[in-house]
Structure 1
Amino acid sequence: MRPIAFIDTETTHLSAEIGHAWEVAVILRQFEDDSTHTDTEYLWEFSVDLTDADPEALRIGRFHERRQLVTCTTLAAFTGSVPAVLMHRTEAVEAITRLLRGTVLVGSNPGFDDRFLRKLLGPGNAQWHYRPYDIVQLAAAKIGAQAAGPLPWRTHVLSRAVGVEPPAEDVAHTALGDARWARDVYDAATRPEPVEMSWEGRAKHAIGMYTRTAIELEDAQRALRASAAAVERARTLASRWGILRAYGGAATELRRALDGPSTSVNSPAQPATSGTEHYHFADADGDQLHIGIPGVPANSAPAVSFYTPTEPVHIPVERLHEILNAARNLAARARRRPASPPVPADGWHVGRQWHGHELEDRCPCKQAPCGLVIAAEASPECTEHGPGSTKSTRQSHPADTCPVTDPS
């Protein structure tokens, strides 16, 4: 089953073309099987520019009472932990992008949140399912469209109709509070009902079973198509690898020939030609390559002849050297160790986890009062934070803005 993301955003304006999201909450539901799942809560705050802010939108979300960051900076914070974890805006955007990839969005008016999330994350990063689901529609489906009354449906009324009390005044219009409300309404609206032992009840049960089976079949067909595509790609890569290995073996033998072969054998495959010495080589795979250097080439330029069952193919030596040099450079680049990601400059505290510092507590690096590692004093032996580590940094802040002061 696809993971579900119960979402909510608090914004500086009702229009995504003008305002920005300053608070984002996600409750990620991941399924182990049809009856077991886990919910994980995430909450971020972003520093925003209030130049075009709508005072009413700020009042609804209680921006001035609840915000923790100053405005007009590139900072963000993971506020789902205590204390909050300060980070750069791009780190938070990357985290939300990864979290929502492949999920189905559920919320109260999720189209509103969808627009602000697309603006926040940037082009190409809205990688969730294209159809978000509104809890007011789920609740109406539960009690029946006729019982829900005329449009527009009111979320608070239908929430109570499925047994879920809307958030209290001090919780409403907080991103995490509204995301929890969306989750509770979803659970109430999708909770299975006992089957009534009547013709109507049995018919509804049969329709439900048919729908679930059709969805599972469609998912299985999609997975089968993906598997077939993966198999075909593997075959293509295997064929390409075989060709590259053949090219690599041929280049090795050509280089040996140009540098002067240690062993030369007159090739019986071709008749002796005046002014031409034939060489017969076998590469590591057992493939054979016959080459020779004519003493008097037809075009009066040094060339290497590739003998085939039909006519020789002559390639100028200068061009052959260019090909071999390019092959050497390509091989050198392939063998070169990938560069390590940049390590924050002196004066930064870094951590490998999104929140907390459990991993830093176990490593040999020197820790700052906040529990993160002092980047400039990371241990060379540490595989998590050391200078040679290729692992990503998931939280960081400058030492002079560390949320925990040194008790000494």
Structure 2
Amino acid sequence: MSTSSTTKQPRPLASTDLETLGLDPARHDAWEIGIVYRGIDGMVSEHLWQKRPSEQALLEADPEALEINRYHERMVVPEGAEAFDMIHGVPLTLGELFKEIHDFLDGAILIGSNIGFDADFLRRMLGAAPWHYRPVCVATLAAGFLYSAEPGAMPGEAYSFSTSAVSKHMGVRQPGPDERHTALPDARWAFDLYTTVCSSPGYDERYRPGLVDGAM
């Protein structure tokens, strides 16, 4: 079955990052969700939520993950609330939280650094995958673009697919030490890297227009 289309409709873009209690979506929970959303009208908005894990989820949490994303320092969901809209300062039920996230991701192109990781947690959280079927890892996108521009510029495995390495080469600002491993700054970072690659000279010549933003 062909997945190509002669007419590609514009799609929203949802740069997404999650902070989690560990690396296994089957055992660990996501507790912070950040989205930088670009609508089909080009308007960009930012969204950030926290979700209070259950006591059992915290018992099963990986201590290293809690330390890296500073869970105990940064958790602000009020006692008695299930979730919290960090932008508007509004407590939410889990149902309200899941609906808000679902609505932003519905039909959107999901992008992020190692976005497959976040997608697995989102799929478990929402019970569905409402986004476009082809998520985009911004680090891989940037590495491919850089390599096509300067093949052999960095030898072998040293040509790292890490977001830090490709951001340095693309001149994209990285989050500071206090911002790393927090959902919204990391979502902004992915959004900035994506838009930098897609607006770089030579991008349209080497990648068919609409390949990422279209409905292929």
Q: When the two structures are superposed, what TM-score results if normalisation uses the length of structure 2?
A: 0.83
Checking the alignment, whether the CA contact within 8 Å between 2:21 and 2:30 is kept in structure 1 is yes
2:135 to 119, 132, 137: 132
Gaps of 5+ in 2: 1-9
Q: Does 1:115 align with 2:120?
A: yes
Alignment of 1:303-382 (within 5 A): none
Higher relative contact order (CA 8 A, sep 6+): 2
Q: 1:157 corresponds to which residue?
A: 165
Look up the equivalent residue of 2:17 and give its one-letter code: D
1:153 shift after superposition = 2.2
Alignment of 1:269-308 (within 5 A): none
1:4 shift after superposition = 0.6
- Identity across matched positions, percent: 36
Q: Does 1:66 align with 2:74?
A: yes
Q: Does 1:52 align with 2:57?
A: no
Look up the equivalent residue of 1:175 and give its one-letter code: A
1:38 shift after superposition = 1.1
Q: 1:173 corresponds to which residue?
A: 181
SS of aligned partner of 2:76: coil
Deviations 1:233-255 (A, max 9, x none): xxxxxxxxxxxxxxxxxxxxxxx
Q: 2:82 corresponds to which residue?
A: 75
Look up the equivalent residue of 2:143 and give its one-letter code: A
Look up the equivalent residue of 2:163 and give its one-letter code: T
Q: 1:3 corresponds to which residue?
A: 12
Structure 1 pair 127/161, CA: closer, same or farther in 2 (3 Å)? Answer: same
Look up the equivalent residue of 1:24 and give its one-letter code: I
1:183 to 185, 191, 204: 191
Task: Provide the rounded CA distance (Å) in 1 between the counterparts of 2:183 and 2:173.
Answer: 17
Task: Provide the rounded CA distance (Å) in 2 between the counterparts of 1:186 and 1:59.
Answer: 28
2:97 to 88, 92, 105: 92
Instruction: Return the index of the structure with the highest Cα Rg.
Output: 1
SS of aligned partner of 1:212: coil
Structure 1 pair 70/55, CA: closer, same or farther in 2 (3 Å)? Answer: farther
Task: Provide the rounded CA distance (Å) in 1 between the counterparts of 2:167 and 2:211.
Answer: 29
Task: Provide the rounded CA distance (Å) in 2 between the counterparts of 1:45 and 1:213.
Answer: 34
Structure 1 pair 192/51, CA: closer, same or farther in 2 (3 Å)? Answer: same
Checking the alignment, whether the CA contact within 8 Å between 2:34 and 2:184 is kept in structure 1 is yes
Checking the alignment, whether the CA contact within 8 Å between 1:142 and 1:190 is kept in structure 2 is no
Task: Provide the rounded CA distance (Å) in 2 between the counterparts of 1:68 and 1:108.
Answer: 25
Task: Provide the rounded CA distance (Å) in 2 between the counterparts of 1:58 and 1:126.
Answer: 26
SS of aligned partner of 2:156: coil
Q: When the two structures are superposed, what TM-score results if normalisation uses the length of structure 1?
A: 0.45
1:173 shift after superposition = 0.5
Q: 1:141 corresponds to which residue?
A: 144
1:150 shift after superposition = 3.1
Q: 1:40 corresponds to which residue?
A: 45
Gaps of 5+ in 1: 196-203, 223-408
Deviations 1:101-131 (A, max 9, x none): 0001110111110011111112xx3111122
SS of aligned partner of 1:173: coil
RMSD in angstroms over aligned alpha carbons? 2.5
**When the two structures are aligned, how many residues end up with a matched partner?**
199
Q: 1:20 corresponds to which residue?
A: 29
Task: Provide the rounded CA distance (Å) in 2 between the counterparts of 1:89 and 1:213.
Answer: 36
2:209 to 212, 225, 240: 212
